């Protein structure tokens, strides 16, 4: 079929426009158009290429995912070796590196030596070769000299341009970077996998590595991978700047994504300041890192310093304390929580990981324990990230001793002896003992006094366990009958501590309706839901009379939560505790309920909000939706009608895409409301 010059020009224009928007979205994190408009551009190009197949080129944005799997991985020879880095695990080791550099360069150790600093991503190193601006090969690092050809897979990663932007790039350019799986994408993928009964990914690094080694590129395309470039290798047919930091800036201008946390710092003091700053923000980053990398910024000085063995003398990785370590499982016990959930916990041979000594790790539930097949005597990988409770990541099967046995869920509660049941469709197993179970009583009381509930300072876990064991505390109301003399006689409690605790108990009597609801520990009712219910009903008496159907009109309340709330207030023992709390002086401000429209253009529709909107706050958007008769929920499900998504939307956006929930931007929401 003959293709007119106008059609050829139109296709080229669409490709350039799409590449521009890919660059704005992926490399600069600064999109200019909403997703719906981008999708229309892609659809228009796809239609043109379907009608005129001769228009299709390998660098077209429509050609990211190939149709067929490869039979195996070919080898890829690196023209310049992909070197590894030396490591510094302490300030002393970093200072020794700096001293060696300054000595070799003949500089004063306190001299003005400029470093380029960037996070050390915990991903997979790759090489991307561009010829005349078109991606022609992707390869893994391998042994540094030879890697695997993974071109079919790197083409599926949206952050990697198939064609560079502009025309001032070298005719032959090798870009080196790190492919990784962002935290939000990792969590969303695993959540969807669990819901589908499929195998979950172990950790983001392994997920990235496994994704790049898929023979079928369609499988890789289904993984939420990203990439940041950190250097260049071979370059022919063009000149590059004299500083590493300027080269990275240039890569970004050509459409290559680079780390936004990169910095240029002065001397060893600048390196340490950067290390501390990134360390403090480590858990808030959208990707996992295991340290930072410092490189001499001047390419001339890099050449002068040269290499030693398989590592450059001009760069070093300053590692954070390990967040994964191997240790042995000494036993597995089952703990009982405030709602009766029975959770397996691994008792470990103590190991230092993530900056603390870990001797216990959570195993979540019996299904997760069986999936990982953790047994007493196993050597396991323990992971800890920030303040997150340590977990058993995986078992090192090669080190499993003979004679180990599968661990089974106990039939009876290890605390009270009541029957343990599993409701069909739920992962959790629960003790049926209720308040007869001292473990449930203790955990419920710990929740009641916690900071976001009644906030009774000084009534800690150990003290509550003592008072529960002695029979002194059975319900939250009993807390308000405690006396100074009995408290001061307890272990580790003196006169002053008893006085302070009594004062704290008295102060907690004045609270809010939302805090009280949260403190009561109703299953599935967290802080946000408690606040929504309190605002909607205004008064406890209104809530006590609410039906399940009424409750589902409250934002954040679905059928399951409504049933939990209704069951709680149908229980005479719970109502008795609330009456006793009021009798002992616990009070809260009550007000008229918030009226939420049940008619309007959005009547019967459910929404979830994520990300940062251009002009509206999330509360503003929520109010607009509710005023128009819609309902705003906190989590995505197949019953969600719309996801309102702004910039930096995370796992909710990915989940919505996976289950085909309609995604709106702010403009589309306003249009929907206005009809």
- Region 296-313: what's the mean pLDDT? 86
With a threshold of 0.75, does the pTM exceed it? no
- What's residue 110's pLDDT? 60
The b/e string for 224-239 (b: 16+ C-beta within 10 A; e otherwise) is bbbbbbbbbbebeeee
- pLDDT tier for residue 138 given thresholds of 50, 70 and 90: very high
More confident residue, 265 or 85: 265
513-589 shares the fold of 92-319: no
CATH number, domain 324-422, options 1.10.10.10, 1.20.1370.20, 3.30.70.20, 2.40.50.140? 2.40.50.140
- Region 418-446: what's the mean pLDDT? 89
- What's residue 14's pLDDT? 85
pLDDT surpassing 60 at residue 385? no
The DSSP output letter for 199 is P
More confident residue, 418 or 46: 418
- What's residue 26's pLDDT? 57
- Region 128-133: what's the mean pLDDT? 94
**CA–CA distance, 55 with 325 (Å, rounded to integer):** 53
- What's residue 596's pLDDT? 56
Report helix, strand or coil for 73. Answer: coil
More confident residue, 651 or 119: 119
- Region 342-358: what's the mean pLDDT? 87
User: Which CATH fold topology does 5-63 show?
Assistant: Helix Hairpins (1.10.287)
Do residues 394 and 202 lie in contact, with contact meaning Cβ atoms separated by under 8 Å?
Answer: yes
Tokens linked to 624: 């607009």
Lowest mean pLDDT of 41-45, 254-258, 263-267, 370-374, name the range.
41-45
Q: Which CATH architecture group holds 606-674?
A: 3-Layer(aba) Sandwich (3.40)
Mean pLDDT of the chain: 87
pLDDT surpassing 90 at residue 418? yes
Distances (CA, A) of 156 to 61, 136, 218, 220, 248: 10, 13, 8, 7, 23
More confident residue, 422 or 19: 422
pLDDT surpassing 80 at residue 477? yes
Do residues 268 and 95 lie in contact, with contact meaning Cβ atoms separated by under 8 Å?
Answer: yes
Lowest mean pLDDT of 59-63, 330-334, 438-442, name the range.
59-63
**Residue 460: Cβ within 10 Å count:** 13
Across the chain, how many H-helices and E-strands are there? 24, 26
- Region 656-666: what's the mean pLDDT? 87
pLDDT surpassing 80 at residue 352? yes
Q: How many CA atoms lie within 13 A of 218 on its CB side?
A: 4
Do residues 673 and 601 lie in contact, with contact meaning Cβ atoms separated by under 8 Å?
Answer: yes
- Region 110-117: what's the mean pLDDT? 83
CATH H superfamily, domain 437-508: 5' to 3' exonuclease, C-terminal subdomain (1.10.150.20)
pLDDT per position as a tens digit, 310-332 = 688 999 999 887 678 899 999 99
- pLDDT tier for residue 594 given thresholds of 50, 70 and 90: low
- What's residue 278's pLDDT? 93
- What's residue 565's pLDDT? 94
- What's residue 225's pLDDT? 92
Tokens linked to 92: 């002393």
Helices assigned H by DSSP within 52-120: 91-105
- Region 67-95: what's the mean pLDDT? 79
- pLDDT tier for residue 139 given thresholds of 50, 70 and 90: very high
Q: What share of the chain is helix, strand, coil (3-state, %, to 5)?
A: 40, 25, 40
The class that CATH gives domain 92-319 is alpha beta
Helices assigned H by DSSP within 156-229: 183-195, 204-212, 217-221
- pLDDT tier for residue 71 given thresholds of 50, 70 and 90: low
- pLDDT tier for residue 35 given thresholds of 50, 70 and 90: low
- Region 651-670: what's the mean pLDDT? 86
pLDDT per position as a tens digit, 161-198 = 999 998 889 999 999 999 999 998 898 888 888 888 77
- % of the chain residues with pLDDT over 70: 93
pLDDT surpassing 90 at residue 513? yes
- pLDDT tier for residue 30 given thresholds of 50, 70 and 90: low
pLDDT surpassing 60 at residue 595? no
**CA–CA distance, 264 with 437 (Å, rounded to integer):** 59
pLDDT per position as a tens digit, 514-560 = 999 999 999 889 887 898 899 889 999 999 999 998 898 886 688 88
Within 8 A by CB and 6+ apart from 142, the residues are 75, 76, 78, 82, 148
CATH number, domain 513-589, options 3.30.565.10, 3.40.50.10800, 1.10.150.20, 3.40.50.1370? 1.10.150.20
pLDDT surpassing 80 at residue 108? no
- Region 385-408: what's the mean pLDDT? 84
pLDDT surpassing 90 at residue 627? no
- What's residue 336's pLDDT? 94
Active site residue ranges: 120
Q: Taking the domains of the chain in order of start, what are their residue ranges?
A: 5-63, 92-319, 324-422, 437-508, 513-589, 606-674
Q: Which of 180, 73, 177 minimizes the C-alpha distance to 135?
A: 177
């Amino acid at each position: 079929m003959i293709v007119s010059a106008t059609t050829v020009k139109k296709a080229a224009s669409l490709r350039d426009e799409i590449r521009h928007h890919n660059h704005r979205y992926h490399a600069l994190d600064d999109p200019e158009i909403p997703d719906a408009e981008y999708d229309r551009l892609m659809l228009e190009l796809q239609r043109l290429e379907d009608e005129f197949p001769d228009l299709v080129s390998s660098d077209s944005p429509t050609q990211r995912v190939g149709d067929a799997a490869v039979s195996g991985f070919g080898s890829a020879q690196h023209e310049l070796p992909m070197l590894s880095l030396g490591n510094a695990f302490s300030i002393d080791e970093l200072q020794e590196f700096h001293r060696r550099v300054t000595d070799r360069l003949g500089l004063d150790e306190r001299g003005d030596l400029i470093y380029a600093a960037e996070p050390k991503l915990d991903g997979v190193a790759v090489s991307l070769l561009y010829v005349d601006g078109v991606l022609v090969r992707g390869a893994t690092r391998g042994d540094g000299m030879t890697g695997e050809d993974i071109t079919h897979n790197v083409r599926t990663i949206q952050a990697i341009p198939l064609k560079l932007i502009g025309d001032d790039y070298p005719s032959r350019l090798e870009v080196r970077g790190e492919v990784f799986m962002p935290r939000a994408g990792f969590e969303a993928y695993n959540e969807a996998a669990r819901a589908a009964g499929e195998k979950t990914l172990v950790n983001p690094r392994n997920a990235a590595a496994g994704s790049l080694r898929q023979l079928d590129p369609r499988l890789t395309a289904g993984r939420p991978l990203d990439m940041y470039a950190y250097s260049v290798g071979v370059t022919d047919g063009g000149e590059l700047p004299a500083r590493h930091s300027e080269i990275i800036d240039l890569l970004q201008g050509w459409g290559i994504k680079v780390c936004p946390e990169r910095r240029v710092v002065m001397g060893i003091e600048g390196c340490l300041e950067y290390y501390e700053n990134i360390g403090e923000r480590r858990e808030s980053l959208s990707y996992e890192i295991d340290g930072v990398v410092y490189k001499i910024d001047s390419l001339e000085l890099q050449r002068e310093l040269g290499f030693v063995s398989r590592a450059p003398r001009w760069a070093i990785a300053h590692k954070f304390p390990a967040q994964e370590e191997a240790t042995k499982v000494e036993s597995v016990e089952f703990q009982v929580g405030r709602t009766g959930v029975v959770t397996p916990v691994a008792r470990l041979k103590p190991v230092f990981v993530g900056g603390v000594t870990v001797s216990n790790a959570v195993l979540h539930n019996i299904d997760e324990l069986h999936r990982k097949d953790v047994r007493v005597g196993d050597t396991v990988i323990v992971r800890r990230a920030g303040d997150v409770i340590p977990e058993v990541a995986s078992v090192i099967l090669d080190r499993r001793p003979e004679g180990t046995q599968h661990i089974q869920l106990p039939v009876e509660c290890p605390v009270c002896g009541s029957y343990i049941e599993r409701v069909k469709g739920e992962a959790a197993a629960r003790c049926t003992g209720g308040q007869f179970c001292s473990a449930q009583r203790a955990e419920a009381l710990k929740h009641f006094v916690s900071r976001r509930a009644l906030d009774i300072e000084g009534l800690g876990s150990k003290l509550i366990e003592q008072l529960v064991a002695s029979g002194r505390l059975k319900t939250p109301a009993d807390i308000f009958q405690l006396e100074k003399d009995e408290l001061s006689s307890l272990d580790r409690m003196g006169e002053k501590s008893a006085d302070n605790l009594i004062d704290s108990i008295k102060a907690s009597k004045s609270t809010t309706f939302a805090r009280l609801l949260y403190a009561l520990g109703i299953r599935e009712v967290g802080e946000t839901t408690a606040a929504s219910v309190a605002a909607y009903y205004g008064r406890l008496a209104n809530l006590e009379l609410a039906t399940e159907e009424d409750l589902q009109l409250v934002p954040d309340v679905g059928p399951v939560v409504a049933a939990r709330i209704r069951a709680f207030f149908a229980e005479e023992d719970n109502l008795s505790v609330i009456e006793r709390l009021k009798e002992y002086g616990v009070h809260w401000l009550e007000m008229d309920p918030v009226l939420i429209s049940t008619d309007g253009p959005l009547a019967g529709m459910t929404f979830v909000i994520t990300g940062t909107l251009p002009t509206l706050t999330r509360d503003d958007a929520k109010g607009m939706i509710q005023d128009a008769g819609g309902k705003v929920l906190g989590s995505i499900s197949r019953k969600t009608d719309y996801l309102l998504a702004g910039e930096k939307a995370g796992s909710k956006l990915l989940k919505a895409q996976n289950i085909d929930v309609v995604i709106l931007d702010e403009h589309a929401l306003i249009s929907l409301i206005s009809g």
